[in-house]
Each structure stands twice: as structure tokens, then as C-alpha cells.
Amino acid sequence: MSAFTEANRKAFDELATIYNTKPWQQALSAQFTKELHTRRAWLGLTANSSEGSKLLDYACGTGVVTKALGADFTTIRGIDISEKMVELYNAAAAQSSGDERPVAVVGDLLSTPHSASLAGSEWRDFDLAVICAGFHHFESPGEAVQRLVERLRPGGQLLIVDFLPFDDEVDRERKLREQMEHTHGPGHDFPDMTHTIKHSGFNEAQMSEFYTAAGLTDFGFNLAAEASSMELKNGKVERWMFFAKGRKAA
């Protein structure tokens, strides 16, 4: 695991204890859920599509994607590098009532070599793989798309939910943090996560390029109905969520 990925693992393990405890975090999760749910038809998910179908919730965290889209799939698997996030995911999954419960494991498909535990057939041939709010935390996003595409069945789809570019905001946060630490010492109640962000958002052209390079077709891209608000280490910010889909050749 690279030093950057290790920093993500550590930061999200620590964040897990307060994940979804603050009103703005709950509002953001509810927004992801609602926006994902309203895109079921756009993704071709229908009441009849669930028989034998498989969902991969990659960088699953506590399972926002699983909760929003899980009812459309028979088999649901989550993967995350943070052990604490995986524990929260599996605790929530234990409460679910379907025939087959969702299961998440600790793993990293993006490192070389990949986690050995993800080598089996159980971790292949997904109908849909989704990365929600994880893509801007990955070291090499183009490579991440390729690694996820390898896990799709022919004709399967990749969906990435992330944010439009927010570079100014990250720069502002870094500067404010430096100032705060210099004058007052760290004091705000949300941890600084700027060191876990490799790319400050993506635009449609960048996403289309990643998807085309990975051989995906039927590219689709759209934005959430409203901006998303977050209360980060140094104050309130607004970001725009996007949804990017593409299909592996049949």
C-alpha cells in the first residue's frame, strides 16, 4: 500500500467514529441516496433486473450505495481499505432482511499486487460497480477505472459519483489550516481531510477520457438537482455532485 493510500486508510478509520453523526453528513448521505434512487431507470435497473444480478459498492464506507440501490440486486459486495468503515457497513448489513445479506471486506483493488482476498470469482462479473465519493481519494483515477472495469461482466456498467472541480476550496482550506495552526492551534471539531484528497474534483471531459481509455461505451454524465453543503475543518463549502456512467463491451 502506498503512503498516500495508507494515509487514506488511517484517516477514514479515524473518521468512522463520527461518520454520519453530524446533520450535514446525514443530509449529504440522504442526498446521495435520493439522487442514486432517481437514476435507477437511467441505469437500466428495473424491478425485473434483479434476478441473479451483482452489485459492487467500491470504497463502500458505511454503505450509501448499497442502501440506495441494493434492492435491485441479488448479490451485493462492498470493498473498502478502512477496517472500521467495513465494520460499520457489515453491522448495518446484518440488519437487512433480504435472502442474501450484503457483505463488505477490507481490500484494495487499486494497489499492485491487488489484495489476494479479492482474487476469487465472487469478486468478478458484476453487473454494476459504483464508486460514490471515493474517486477523488484515489491516487491514479484512470487506473482505478480500468481496475473496476476488469471486475464487470461483459455488458456491465460502471457508475462514479463524485464532485465537479473544487480546487479553490482545497487551497483555501490548506491556507486557513496553516493560519489556524499558527495562531490558535488546531481547534475545529472536524478532522482535516485535505491530505487524503489527490484530485480536487473532475469535469465531464476528464471523466469521458477515463471511460474511453478503459474501453467503456454509452458514456452518460449529469449533475445533482442541488449543490451539496459540507462543514469541513475550516468552514462551510458547497460542491456539485456528478454521476458518470459507462458500459463494458458485451
Question: Can you give the binding site for ligand SAM, defined by CB under 6 A?
Answer: 5, 8, 12, 32, 59-62, 64, 79-82, 85, 108, 110, 132-134, 137-138
Backbone angles phi, psi at 243, to 5 degrees: -130, 120
- The residue among 43 and 85 lying less far from ligand SAM, judged by its C-beta, is 85
State the Cα–Cα distance between residues 63 and 78, nearest whole angstrom.
8
Residue 115 Cβ vs ligand SAM, minimum distance, rounded to whole Å: 9
CB 159, CB 43: distance < 8 Å: yes
Output 32 or 211, the one with its CB closest to ligand SAM. Answer: 32
Comparing CB distances to ligand SAM, the nearer of 79 and 232 is 79
Nearest-CB residue to ligand SAM?
Answer: 61
Closest CA to 158 of 121, 123, 132, 139: 132
CB of 187 to ligand SAM, least distance (A): 23
28 or 205: whose CB is closer to ligand SAM? Answer: 28
We find the least distance from the C-beta atom of residue 159 to ligand SAM, in angstroms, to be 12
If you search the block for the grid coordinates 434483479, which residue do you land on?
A: 50
In terms of CB distance, is 81 or 93 closer to ligand SAM?
81
C-beta of residue 153 within 8 angstroms of C-beta of residue 241: no
> DSSP string spanning 32-99?
HHHHHHTTTTTTT--GGGGTT-EEEEET-TTTHHHHHHGGG-SEEEEEES-HHHHHHHHHHHTT--SS
- Please state the closest distance from residue 82 (CB atom) to ligand SAM, in A: 4
**Smallest distance, Å, CB 148 to ligand SAM?**
10
Angle at 37 between CA 31 and CA 43, to 5 degrees: 125
Using DSSP, state whether 228 is helix, strand or coil: strand
